[in-house]
Amino acid sequence: MLTTYHFNVLHIPVTLRGPDTVLAPIVRSYGRFLSQDPPPGDSHEIRIESTRAESFTDGAEVVPVIRGGNLTLQIYERFLTAVFDRVSTHAVLHAAALVDARGDALLIAGPSGFGKTSLTLELLCRDFRFLSDDYAPIDLSTARVEPYPRTVGLLPDGTVRLPPRFIDAAADPTHPRMLGKVLIDVGEVLGDAVVADEAARLGHVVILESGDGAEPYRSVVHLGIWPRGREGAGTLLRSIPGAELLGQDDRDDISILRIRLDHGRLPPEHFSELLERDFVAFSETSPGVPADFRSTPNLAPLKRREAAVLLCREVQNRRRRGRLMQAYEGDTTRLFLDVAAALASARCFRLRVGDFETMANHVEGLTR
Amino acid sequence: MRPDDRPTKTDRYLVRDLADELVLYDAESKKFHVLNATLREIFLHCDGQHSVDDLTRILVQEFEVDESTARRDTIEILDRLIDLEIVRVEQSEAAST
């Protein structure tokens, strides 16, 4: 049975039509953006006729289904692209976002594996409200952070530190999964009162860092490659000076390449070009050194300019063909300037990661 | 530079005030400059209304320095900002004759 879902994400109308079994995880994550009626204006439609279809339509484009590939992920990638390519007023940051007791937004940014989600869930148990977990859209003209999906993606294998109520939820097999993570609606676990439905003005930015002196964001990239791109990605990687393939892991029919980047030899535009190829499903950066959650956390002030540099490295809709970059005529420095200006009324800090209770105490102390 | 000169900002740069610093970007040369708190304070008051004397007094008030230090700093800062074409000083008729 095919179902039609209309979404209005950051004022971008997108319609999905397809089997519920395929669309359920997306509907689960983006449920807060559903609307009963088609949104006004031209809605971008992504449509698949059955789970056994050999192609789907993405706007006017007919896209072959990747055989053996996870169909939900293929549709989700197109859905995200439809949104990110059309948003022109918001920079979508790779960060978690909360609202503090005073009503100001708090951004928690940092490399994957540094505890953004765990710290977010800890703070939700302490009077903070939830805006989003992984993507934080900020309106660059108003410095307001918008709510985004009200789900968090949790690894069910017990490797991530979670509050007890979320441990139970992560083990519940009825929750949909994507990329090996269980999608959990925080409102269902902690009550709807913990979910913020309105945008909030940015008040604080906390950048998570390791204590080993490794420069954040720079060392290792995890690149998700659709099967059709495995060969092309390998060839391209070998042509890029300063990019070294460390290994490959297959998960949910996506190959995840671990690539070490030597930024002393690698012009940034060479790697950006790779990220924009259509065989790239997603990318995540990490310092390559695991965070040590047994050490003592340390909080220190950070200049807004420095915080903006770190945030700008992970603007998700910075692709050249997107409307955000068209508005800047492709000049990423101008985008950086506007992200920096959006931080003008925020206090920025770097937080060396360590035990979560102390980390949460530090962050809670900032907002009192 | 004369005490009654009244510097103004040029329009060469894209300006973003971050409150703790001020960033200026020249889209043509792709270069940008970061002004610290003292330079920012001077730059923000380069509006054609405030004289070098006024700017000196602002530094004395904001940063609690003595007047001779503030005057020396003000002139050094303005010279640097003029070199970078961030501000300019129009020559008055009295000065040019």
- For chain A (368 residues), the mean pLDDT of every run of 10, in chain order, is 94 95 92 86 91 94 83 91 93 96 95 88 94 95 95 83 88 83 91 95 94 57 78 77 81 77 61 74 70 89 93 84 90 91 96 93 93
DSSP state of A146: P
pLDDT, position A270: 63
pLDDT, position A280: 80
Distance from CA of A204 to the nearest CA of B (A): 14
Which residues of chain B approach chain A closer than 8 Å at the C-beta?
Answer: 14, 16-21, 23, 25, 27, 30, 32, 34
Flag if B19 and A303 touch (Cβ within 8 Å): no
Flag if B18 and A304 touch (Cβ within 8 Å): yes
Looking at chain B, which residue has its C-alpha nearest residue A330? B27
pLDDT above 70 coverage of chain A, percent? 92
pLDDT, position A219: 59
Average of per-residue pLDDT across B55-65: 92
Flag whether residue A303 sits within 8 Å of chain B, measured between CB atoms: yes
Report the alpha-carbon distance of residue A114 to residue A110 in Å, rounded.
Answer: 6
pLDDT above 90 coverage of chain A, percent? 53
Six-digit token string for B90? 């129009």
Query: Do A33 and A7 form a contact (C-beta atoms < 8 A)?
Result: yes
pLDDT, position A217: 47
3-state secondary structure of A286: strand
Q: Which of A85, A134, A136, A77 is nearest to A280 (CA)?
A: A77
Q: Is the dihedral of CA A120, A125, A126, A129 positive or negative?
A: positive
Report the alpha-carbon distance of residue A345 to residue A343 in Å, rounded.
Answer: 6
DSSP state of A321: T
Report the alpha-carbon distance of residue A278 to residue A40 in Å, rounded.
Answer: 29
Q: Which of B54, B52, B58, B46 is nearest to B8 (CA)?
A: B46
Q: Which of B14, B16, B31 to probe by mutation at the A interface, max A CB count within 10 Å?
A: B16
pTM value?
A: 0.85
pLDDT above 90 coverage of chain B, percent? 78
Other beta carbons within 10 Å of A61: 10
Report pLDDT digits (tens) over A333-358: 899 999 999 999 999 999 999 999 99
Long-range contacts of A264-268 (CB under 8 A, 24+ apart): A265/A241, A266/A240, A266/A241, A266/A242
pLDDT, position B50: 96
Other beta carbons within 10 Å of A31: 15
- CB burial of A175-195 (b: ≥16 within 10 Å; e: otherwise) equals bbbbbebbbbbbbebbeeebb
- CB burial of A254-289 (b: ≥16 within 10 Å; e: otherwise) equals bbbbbbebeeeeeeeeebeebeeeebbbbbbbbbbe
Q: Which residues fall within 8 angstroms of residue A5, CB to CB, at 6 or more apart?
A: A15, A16, A17, A23, A27, A34
pLDDT, position B97: 47
Please state the φ and ψ torsions of residue A73, each to the nearest 5 degrees.
Answer: -65, -40
**pLDDT exceeds cutoff 80 at B21:** yes
Comparing B93 with A207, the larger pLDDT belongs to: A207
pLDDT, position A5: 96
Nearest by CB: B14 against A303, A337, A345? A337
Q: Is the dihedral of CA B37, B40, B44, B48 positive or negative?
A: positive
Cα radius of gyration (chain B): 13
